[in-house]
Amino acid sequence: MYIDSYAAYNNPKGAVMAKALDFSNQTILITGASSGIGTAYAEAFAQRKANLILVARSGAVLRQLATKLEQQHNIQADVVELDLSVPGAAQKLKDQHPKIDGLINNAGFGTHGFLQDQDPERVNQEIQLNCGALVDLTQTYLPSMLTNKRGFIINIASTAAFQPIPKMAVYGATKAFVLSFTQALWSELQGTGVHALAVCPGATSTEFFNVAGADAAAGSMRTVDDVVKTTFKGLAKNSHTVVDGTVNGTLAFFGRVTPRKMIMPVVSRMMSGNK
C-alpha cells in the first residue's frame, strides 16, 4: 500500500486521531452507497457501531441495505433517495440531516470512449456529480465540523488522477480535481480537528466498469474490502492521500513522474483494449 503523507504535517496529537477511529454513535453520511465501495463503507462503519445516512438514486436498494445493517449491527441507517448532480441537492440533504460526524463523497461515474462520441449532457452530469456535488457537500457540512472541532471528509479519487486517461479524458480530469482539492483541503484543516483524505482505488471489483462501458482484467482488481482497509489506515495516520494496493501505488508514482509524452501512448494502448 502506498501512502502519500507529508511527515511534517502529520497530526502531532496521535492520541486524538486514535480516539477518532472509535466511530460508535457517530453519524456518517455516505454518497453512492447503493453499490460497490459505497456499500462496503456502509458495512464497515456499521460494524463499528456508527449510525448511517445512505444516499443514492437507487432508493429500493438503499432501503434493503439499511434494513440489513440495522438488524445485523443494531444501528440506525437513514435512507435518502437523491440525485446529487441536481443543483441544490447538497442543501436539500443538509436540511434533512443537519448534523454529521463524517462525510464520504463516493458518488460518481465515468464514461468511456472518444470525447466527440459522448453525449454532452452525460458528460456534464459526470463533471457535476464527480466534482460539483463533492465540493457542494464538503462546503455545506464543513462549517459544523469546524465548530465541533472534529470530523472527517473522505473523497474518493482514483489512480486515474495521476496521469491523463485517453478515452476516459473527462473521468481522469475529474479525479485529478478531486485529488488536488482534497490535498489542499487537508492542508487548510491542519490543527482544526477535522481530517480530509483522498482515497485512490485502482481497478476494483465493482459495477463501475459496467457503467463506464469499459473492461478491466479481473486478476488486476482489488476488492472493495481492500479499499476500506486502506482508508482506515489513512485516517489513523492523518494522511492526505492513500492509494490502495502496492501495485497501484507504484503505478501512481510513475504516473506522476513520467513525462506525459512517454506515458500517454502507454495509457492509450491500455485503454484501446477496452471496447
C-alpha 150, offset from chain centre? 19
Closest Cα to residue 145, out of 101, 189, 108?
A: 101
- On whether the CB atoms of residues 50 and 73 are closer than 8 A, the answer is no
Of 2, 41, 141, 171, the active-site residue reads 171
DSSP state of 129: I
The CA distance from 29 to 51, in Å, is 9
For helices 169-188 and 120-127, the axis angle rounded to 10 degrees is 20
The CA distance from 173 to 164, in Å, is 7
To the query of whether residue 171 is one of the catalytic residues in this protein, the response is yes
- On whether the CB atoms of residues 30 and 55 are closer than 8 A, the answer is yes
The three cell numbers locating residue 87: 443543483
Any residues with CB less than 8 A from the CB of 33 and at least 6 apart, and which? Answer: 39, 41, 42, 52, 54, 55, 56, 62, 65, 106
Q: Which residues are catalytic?
A: 171
